Structure 1
Amino acid sequence: MRGLEIYSTEKGLIQVSNEVRLLILKELSQSPMSPKDMCVSTGRAMSTVSSHLKTMLDDGLVVCVPDPDDGRRRVYSLAARPVAASVGRDEGARASYLGILERLAANPVRAPGLLLNALTVAITAEGINLAPVMENLGSGLADSLADEYRNGRTEDVLSSLRDFYEYAGIGEASIFSYSPVSVITHTRCETTFRAAEAMGRFTQGFFSRAMGNLTGKEFRAVSSEVFGAGNNYHRFTLEQVPGRRVRIQYNIAFSVV
């Protein structure tokens, strides 16, 4: 079923297929909003938006909090984490992940990175877009390296992250620009555009969280592009999110031996 998204809440997994609720969740993923603002962005009446917000509050998808800029006003904020979305089966991805597994069998030294690619492509082939989980996974990996790369010049930290990315067998990375941070990655795993986008979210999560851990500020991809005949190149640019500070969820030291 297309147009279905799954969110993780304190109550468990919640699936959302209603068009208005999906629109509201998309808007709240960017910033908290008032019901009035949601009416404008969704083009729906206040009564409609209010009805959906009540259901979303009950499901644990959103929370209602005081506006940090005006304590007299209440705004809604996203309380759930996006997990996956239904996008329809991708037969091209099915063929490509078998090719990745063949490469893994021939070069087991690269197993960690190849397995990550194969898993992403295999799940995409079944019609599940795991991009949000992949981004969280990349962020978690960056957090596990926080003690290693929390200090130093941006150029040196990005160079170290690039080396780790390649050492782990995930792919090759080039730092195209330091201000703003722009990264180009390449993998020998050719696949479909949709699967490459999901894998690209892992890389975005990895580099954006690493920059956040270094600076204490939250970073977000402002542009992202998959290209190449085999959809095996990915270019993205990161910029700081104004007023947002990063919260480290993991803190496990890691050393490459």
Structure 2
Amino acid sequence: MNNGDNTAIFSTDIGFIALNGSVKIKILDFLKGGCRSFDEIVQHTGKAKSTISVHLNDLKSQNLLEEATDVHDKRKKVYFLKCQYVACSQEPGMKHYGEMLEVIGSPDMNSFGCLKCLFHAVQYGFRAHGVNCDPIMRKIGNDVGASLSRNFVSNEKGQILKEMMAFWEEHDIGSFKVLSHDPIKIAVHNFFDCRSIPIKEKTLCSFAQGVFEGVFKEKLGIECIMQMLGKCDDDCDACHFQMILL
């Protein structure tokens, strides 16, 4: 969940919580897939039952998860999330942020579009100050996708994708190609000019990922994730995603 970073930040009903413990973060990551029993959590983490019991109590006290009685076995408890994963820490890096600010201060900004450049600058700015905001960008992408879905008429996967393609082209969002319909595999090209803006590090994959998830969840009434296939970097031509049903 936090990709080896030192601290993960979660949003709860009572505010933000920052966690440093890798076991606690691993538990919360496991619960993203739904309710889990105590024994399942123990098996997943590989830790002693007494250790997991302490961690679960700590997470409950921080309002990060909740305990309930298993409907299939009243003697057992299950645990589920009460939080949203927001961000994690990373080593600060000013280089790409500085490069983006140089673009904004040059005539090149006109060719890329002012709003797109500012959007990229916000992403690079977070990273420059040691915050990897991919999780919250994905969540925002989910919300944006759910709202965008109101522009689409169809409730069938193939037709939804066709409507999305036309919408993206009309509004200069980028483009994507459907590689497979079963399962759905998509190659996203130049999302918000991420390929043409001359910055080495790419930042918008998680946002694009969330947009697709939001559209499909809203239009199809399913729980799914768009799993990224491979690592997005300066050498790749597109971001590849595959739908995984939950």
| TM-score normalised by L of structure 1 | 0.81
Instruction: Describe the shift of the 1:46–1:141 C-alpha distance in structure 2 as closer, same or farther (beyond 3 A).
Output: same
Which residue is equivalent to 1:249?
none
Distance 2:135 2:50 in 1: 31
- RMSD (CA atoms): 2.6
Give the conservation status (yes or no) of the 8 Å contact 2:60–2:66.
yes
Kindly provide the CA deviation profile for residues 184-233 of structure 1, in whole angstroms up to 9, marking residues without a partner as x. Answer: 1222235445xx3x411111111122112221111112343344645563
Kindly provide the CA deviation profile for residues 50-89 of structure 1, in whole angstroms up to 9, marking residues without a partner as x. Answer: 1111111111100112335445421111110011100112
Distance 1:185 1:239 in 2: 17
Instruction: Describe the shift of the 1:231–1:134 C-alpha distance in structure 2 as closer, same or farther (beyond 3 A).
Output: farther
Give the conservation status (yes or no) of the 8 Å contact 2:225–2:244.
yes
Verify: 1:202 aligned to 2:207, yes or no: yes
The one-letter amino acid paired with 1:236 is F
Which residue is equivalent to 1:49?
52
Which residue is equivalent to 1:94?
97
Range with greater deviation from structure 2 (95-104 or 205-214): 95-104
Identity over the aligned pairs, expressed in percent?
Answer: 23
Distance 2:103 2:172 in 1: 13
Instruction: Describe the shift of the 1:191–1:183 C-alpha distance in structure 2 as closer, same or farther (beyond 3 A).
Output: farther
Range with greater deviation from structure 2 (65-74 or 8-17): 65-74
Give the conservation status (yes or no) of the 8 Å contact 1:162–1:172.
yes
Verify: 1:222 aligned to 2:227, yes or no: yes
Distance 2:145 2:186 in 1: 15
Verify: 1:148 aligned to 2:151, yes or no: yes
Query: Structure 2: which 5+ residue stretches go unaligned?
Result: 191-195
Instruction: Describe the shift of the 1:191–1:28 C-alpha distance in structure 2 as closer, same or farther (beyond 3 A).
Output: farther
Give the conservation status (yes or no) of the 8 Å contact 2:142–2:210.
yes
The one-letter amino acid paired with 1:8 is S
Distance 2:92 2:150 in 1: 40
Verify: 1:74 aligned to 2:77, yes or no: yes
Verify: 1:235 aligned to 2:240, yes or no: yes
Give the conservation status (yes or no) of the 8 Å contact 2:31–2:79.
yes
Which residue is equivalent to 1:189?
197
Verify: 1:31 aligned to 2:31, yes or no: no
Give the conservation status (yes or no) of the 8 Å contact 1:223–1:236.
yes
The one-letter amino acid paired with 1:235 is H
Range with greater deviation from structure 2 (121-130 or 165-174): 165-174
Helix, strand or coil at the partner of 2:197: coil
Distance 2:38 2:175 in 1: 45
Range with greater deviation from structure 2 (173-182 or 44-53): 173-182
Verify: 1:119 aligned to 2:112, yes or no: no
Instruction: Describe the shift of the 1:130–1:232 C-alpha distance in structure 2 as closer, same or farther (beyond 3 A).
Output: farther
Helix, strand or coil at the partner of 2:154: coil
Give the conservation status (yes or no) of the 8 Å contact 1:9–1:60.
yes
The one-letter amino acid paired with 2:27 is I
Distance 2:22 2:87 in 1: 16
Helix, strand or coil at the partner of 1:107: helix
Instruction: Describe the shift of the 1:2–1:209 C-alpha distance in structure 2 as closer, same or farther (beyond 3 A).
Output: closer
Distance 2:209 2:244 in 1: 11
